[in-house]
Amino acid sequence: MLTITKEFHFSASHVLDRLPSWHPCARMHGHNYVVVLELSAPRDALTEAGFVRDYRELDAFKKWMDDTLDHRHLNEAMVCVSPSAENLAVWIFDLWSARLPELTAVRISETPKTWATYRPAARGGEDAP
């Protein structure tokens, strides 16, 4: 299996409203997010040029991220779920896995020292326990 990754950046605010009122993340605050898309393919499934996927084909994701998430309030962009890093990784994966069938994981960072990764057990299967 061959794997490629590409890193993207955006800035946004959020409120994690299911936390106790004393918790600092219960107040509106912002992050400079890092999003890493991981795409994988077996060696015999590479493109004619020898790619898992041409990195230029990820420009559509960058445009979507800039239009949908950058300098936005994530509570409004992700209306169905609390905008934690974990939920953001799942949300992005679910939105983009049909357009990027090689997508195997989404990794989100809110700070240089924290990361959340969503990697389903198998495409179309149940999440790992």
Active site residue 71: yes
Cβ-contact 74, 13 below 8 angstroms: yes
Active site residue 80: no
End-to-end CA distance of the chain: 23
Q: Which of 25, 31, 73, 86 is catalytic?
A: 25
Q: Which of 14, 38, 102, 110 is catalytic?
A: 110
**In whole angstroms, what is the distance from residue 116 CA to residue 54 CA?**
25
**In whole angstroms, what is the distance from residue 110 CA to residue 102 CA?**
25
Active site residue 110: yes
**Extended strands (E) in 1-113:** 2-14, 29-41, 72-73, 103-111
Distances (CA, A) of 119 to 19, 34, 79, 81, 105: 25, 17, 22, 18, 4
Q: Which of 9, 71, 76, 80 is catalytic?
A: 71
> Which of the residues are catalytic?
25, 71, 110
